[in-house]
Amino acid sequence: MKAECTEHIRCLIIGSGPAGYTAAIYVARAGLKPVMYTGVEPGGQLTQTTDVDNFPGYPQGILGPALMDDLRMQAERFGTDIRFGSVSAVDFSLRPHKVIIDETKSVTADTIIVSTGATAKWLSVPGEQQYSGFGVSVCAVCDGFFFKGQDVAIVGGGDTAAEEASYLAKLCKKVYMIVRRAEFSASKVMISSVLNASNIEVVYNSETKEILGDGKNVTAVKILNNKTWEEKELPVNGLFVAIGHKPNTDIFKGWLDMDEIGYLKTIPGSAKTNVEGVFAAGDVQDRHYRQAVTAAASGCMAALDAERYLAAKEAAPNAKTRTIFSVKTKKGWFDKDSPQNLTYKEAGIRGFFVVCMPALAAIDWNFHTHTMFFIAPFIMYLAVSALTMTCPVKELFSRRNKSDSQEL
Ligand SMILES: Cc1cc2nc3c(=O)[nH]c(=O)nc-3n(C[C@H](O)[C@H](O)[C@H](O)COP(=O)(O)OP(=O)(O)OC[C@H]3O[C@@H](n4cnc5c(N)ncnc54)[C@H](O)[C@@H]3O)c2cc1C
């Protein structure tokens, strides 16, 4: 990371989808002058689609690019500095955090909101690009409604594909589920819901070769059976690609906690990542919902968390927020900054009472002095209060580390 540092930013937003723009609106309105780097796809995934019918506030629906233009203008109205450029590397080892833009420029930031989204995997077959938004979709929840009462196909054999097939079966006349292998890779419960739906036909051992249309809309999908080498066309009006997403998190590997696919982990009920001052919003941290409105909502959460973080830092600039212990409860790990965590001082005091006082009592007992009658109740009081303030004693001295934080 050799680029020379040229600028310090209070709140840096990485990514310009619904999550990034919403975060920008909130942070800018709080007077924190956010800087946003858009990445190579200004406006995010919705710029790839036509009609968006499910974003609140647009009773007649809106085109994806137009919706993103509205969000951009709203963010700019409050003073967001929107710049074209991509983050190519980060260094979260020190504070403020260091970020490299386009491998050339280096900036530092007090807080960072990561909203880099997740990229849907496409089939890369003829017709796919041409009919994207005109019959080809990567989101059944978003676009299934447009195919009400019609015949559609869905490609994929995993949990998402099975879930989306069941969703489509409730709207569409017939759903072909095109599965590459002789079996599903979905979970048993998902498979049984697919197999129990009377209007889903599973087409095993089949690969999608081409998406056919009339120049405007999809009319059929050409598939090849990889056992018999037989080719056939399924007459459909829509094709849903459900073969997975790739979260855009490569640049954060080694810094931010991720799940096995690469989605960022946040502390439940917040946008906080495992690194202080770094927050995550939108699809990049959400493998379940992946909707524009949920991305926007988590952008709001990230902005409020960032604002509060900055306010706390600025109110007590020298406060020692670092904790040596994180406390585990049934609900998971407390946040690093949680007052229920132990600071060095608190740990020292509790350690003294929990360890030293029984030792003193033992000495006292040994020498048959009567003071134990005074000390014993005091020790019990301290021990009970120390334990009830936190958690079971075996968890008390657990130190949070990478593998522990998997439980976040
Ligand atoms: C074709 C299609 C149709 C859809 N239709 C609907 C719909 O009708 N309704 C609905 O609710 N949802 C729909 N979705 C899903 C919706 O688009 C996403 O849930 C939503 O866009 C996620 O928002 P986001 O802000 O998290 O990320 P994204 O929209 O994915 O935006 C990510 C942003 O991060 C930027 N970025 C990535 N890497 C970097 C980097 N290194 N540096 C800087 N910036 C970076 C990108 O350029 C982009 O601007 C659709 C998705 C697709 C693909």
The pLDDT tens digits for 33-70 are 999 999 999 999 999 888 999 999 999 999 999 999 99
Note whether 61 and 100 are same-domain residues. yes
Tell whether the model's pLDDT for residue 176 goes beyond 50: yes
pLDDT digits (tens, 9 = 90+) for 262-313: 999 999 999 999 999 999 999 999 999 999 999 999 999 999 999 999 999 8
Tell whether the model's pLDDT for residue 24 goes beyond 80: yes
Note whether 355 and 303 are same-domain residues. no
Q: Which residues pair with 175 in a beta bridge?
A: 152, 200
Which residue carries 């490609």 as its tokens?
155
In a domain? residue 129: no
In a domain? residue 130: no
| Two tokens, residue 244 | 């997975």
Q: What pLDDT score was predicted for residue 385?
A: 65
Note whether 249 and 232 are same-domain residues. no
Q: Select from 276, 294, 316 the last residue of a domain.
A: 316
Whether residue 147 contacts residue 267, with contact meaning beta carbons closer than 8 Å, is answered with no
Q: What pLDDT score was predicted for residue 400?
A: 38
Percent of the chain with pLDDT over 70: 79
Q: Which residues pair with 403 in a beta bridge?
A: none
pLDDT digits (tens, 9 = 90+) for 373-384: 667 777 777 776
Q: Are strands 200-203 and 328-329 parallel, antiparallel or unpaired?
A: unpaired
Q: Tell me which of 45, 69, 84 to substitute to probe ligand 1's pocket, judged by most ligand atoms within 8 Å of the beta carbon.
A: 45
Q: Domain span at residue 69?
A: 4-118+245-316
CA of 353 to the centre of ligand 1 (A): 53
Element (H, E) at 62: strand 62-63
85 backbone φψ class: left, alpha, beta (φ>0; ψ -120 to 50): left
Tell whether the model's pLDDT for residue 254 goes beyond 90: yes
* Between 192 and 349, the higher pLDDT residue: 192
Q: Which of the four pLDDT bands, split at 50, 70 and 90, describes residue 404?
A: very low
Any idea what the CATH number is for the domain that residue 251 is in? 3.50.50.60
Note whether 312 and 395 are same-domain residues. no
Note whether 101 and 10 are same-domain residues. yes
Element (H, E) at 345: helix 344-351
List residues near ligand 1 (CB under 6 A): 14-20, 37-42, 44-46, 48-49, 52, 54-55, 86-87, 115-117, 120, 138-139, 142, 248, 251, 282-284, 290-293, 295
Q: Select from 241, 262, 289 the last residue of a domain.
A: 241
Note whether 87 and 108 are same-domain residues. yes
Note whether 290 and 369 are same-domain residues. no
Q: Select from 206, 241, 276 the last residue of a domain.
A: 241
Q: Which residues pair with 272 in a beta bridge?
A: 279
In a domain? residue 126: no
Atom of ligand 1 nearest to the CA of 46: 17
Q: Are strands 136-137 and 238-241 parallel, antiparallel or unpaired?
A: parallel
In a domain? residue 323: no
Note whether 72 and 169 are same-domain residues. no
In a domain? residue 173: yes
Whether residue 178 contacts residue 204, with contact meaning beta carbons closer than 8 Å, is answered with no
Atom of ligand 1 nearest to the CA of 289: 19
Mean pLDDT of 98-122: 96
pLDDT digits (tens, 9 = 90+) for 314-347: 887 665 444 444 454 444 444 444 444 455 556 6
Q: What pLDDT score was predicted for residue 269?
A: 95
Mean pLDDT of 217-233: 97
Tell whether the model's pLDDT for residue 368 goes beyond 70: no
When divided into structural domains, the chain yields a total of 3
Note whether 9 and 38 are same-domain residues. yes
Note whether 75 and 28 are same-domain residues. yes
In a domain? residue 57: yes
Note whether 148 and 237 are same-domain residues. yes
In a domain? residue 187: yes
Mean of all residue pLDDT scores within the chain: 86
b or e along 291-312 (b: 16 or more beta carbons within 10 Å of the residue's beta carbon)?
bbebbbbbbbbbbbbbbebbee
**Cα(18)–Cα(306) distance, rounded to whole angstroms?**
17
Note whether 226 and 362 are same-domain residues. no
Whether residue 248 contacts residue 116, with contact meaning beta carbons closer than 8 Å, is answered with yes
CA of 173 to the centre of ligand 1 (A): 30
Q: Tell me which of 9, 12, 13, 46 to substitute to probe ligand 1's pocket, judged by most ligand atoms within 8 Å of the beta carbon.
A: 46
CA of 44 to the centre of ligand 1 (A): 4
In a domain? residue 145: yes
pLDDT digits (tens, 9 = 90+) for 342-367: 555 566 666 666 676 677 777 766 76
Determine the distance from the C-alpha atom of residue 223 to the mean position of all C-alpha atoms in its chain, rounded to a whole number: 34
What positions carry a catalytic annotation?
139, 142-143
What's at 87, amino acid-wise?
V
Tell whether the model's pLDDT for residue 7 goes beyond 80: yes
